[in-house]
Amino acid sequence: MSFLNRLFNDPLYQQKEPRRPEEIEDSEVIISPDTRRRNRIPPGQTRTRKWPVLDAHGTPEIDLERWKFTVDGLVEKPFEWSLEEFMQMPPVKVYADFHCVTRWSRLDNVWSGVSTGELARTVGVKPEAKFALAFGYDSGWTTNIPLQYFLAEDSLLAWSHDGQPIAPEHGGPVRLIVPQLYAWKSAKWIKGVRFLESDQPGFWEEGGYHMRGLPWNGDDGERFRWQG
């Protein structure tokens, strides 16, 4: 089979142009605000139709029977869910674009899962919390997120992408999705969240990536800490 045949037979390859938000027929889908921009490609980015796989340590082996998701830190009620319990929480759908700091953007994604707002209501986030620190199952991986982005209406803990369960190489069974920031903030293989008063750098942030990671700021986005 030729390269082009393999490419066009890839079910994750986008053969059509991205839909506009007003073309989304399901009225219950949350529309990420950045999809309403006239130009949806941030500075320094290029659109891809594929669904690339990138990570720091490779895909971890996760026993779904023993999967746990824990929330602690500045909360009234620290909580732990099994995968079955987590899947029973009220679901949402989000239409969003996805921007990787390595300069590719995949437009027109529909994610299903639990909104971060629902998570916050369940545990009772304390007023002094200003940041979230996400933990992954992959070798102690972490990333930090300002609370205003973590709790944005379009942020969620997703178990489905474009109508299909999220594959392990893309962060399944559950991954964080924070559409308004670069995709390294959307932690794959998420295992927990800690709410903090002060910012704390995660894995890539310790290595020099930006503490916030806003794709639309400046001439080339907030990719590295030296950018301020």
Domains and CATH numbers, the chain: 27-49+66-227 (3.90.420.10)
| 121: Cβ contacts below 8 Å, ≥ 6 apart | none
Give this prediction's pTM.
0.94
pLDDT grade, residue 54 (50/70/90)? confident
For residue 102, report the phi and psi dihedrals to the nearest 5 degrees. -80, 15
Burial 128-152 (b: 16+ CB within 10 A, else e): ebebbbbbbbbeebbbbbbbebbbb
Tokens of 37: 């921009």
Question: Which residue is it, tokens 């909580």?
Answer: 79
Express each pLDDT in 179-212 by its tens digit.
999 999 999 999 999 999 999 999 999 999 999 9
Whether the CB-CB separation of 184 and 101 falls below 8 Å is answered with yes
DSSP 209: B
Express each pLDDT in 100-149 by its tens digit.
999 999 999 999 999 999 999 999 999 999 999 999 999 889 999 999 99
Q: Is residue 213 packed enough to be buried (19+ CB in 10 Å), middle (13-18) or exposed (0-12)? A: buried
Express each pLDDT in 39-50 by its tens digit.
999 999 999 999
